[in-house]
Amino acid sequence: MRQYFEEVWNRGKLGYIDDRFARDWVGHASGEEVDGPERLKEHVSSRRTAFPHLQCTVEDTITEGDRVAVRWTARGIQPGDPITG
């Protein structure tokens, strides 16, 4: 999971997802369900566009069988004028 966050979230290497995520993969993030690798790439891309210098840090991971839970923090600044966007 640490490598996934580093490669995908911090470096924006979306191709990393293609080789490592099953087609029926489902994730839960930011209060929404993200189903499948293509949707995950869209999810990451939209967040990295909004926060181009986004940096994520994995704090903890818990695994059980084929399930993984991750506690992570994200830091970034959204560019643009705070008044007019």
Task: Tell me the DSSP string of 22-76.
Answer: -TT-EEEETTEEEESHHHHHHHHHHHHHHSTT-EEEEEEEEEETTEEEEEEEEE-
pLDDT number for residue 66: 87
Q: pLDDT band at residue 64, thresholds of 50, 70 and 90?
A: very high
Distance from first CA to last CA of the chain, Å, rounded?
A: 34
Contact 20, 47 (CB under 8 A): no
What's the pTM value of the predicted model, to 2 decimals? Answer: 0.83
Is a pLDDT exceeding 80 seen at residue 81?
no
Q: Which residues pair with 72 in a beta bridge?
A: 58
- Please report the domains of the chain, with CATH numbers, ordered by start residue: 2-75 (3.10.450.50)
pLDDT tens digits along 4-57 = 999 999 999 999 999 899 999 999 877 889 999 999 999 999 999 999 999 999
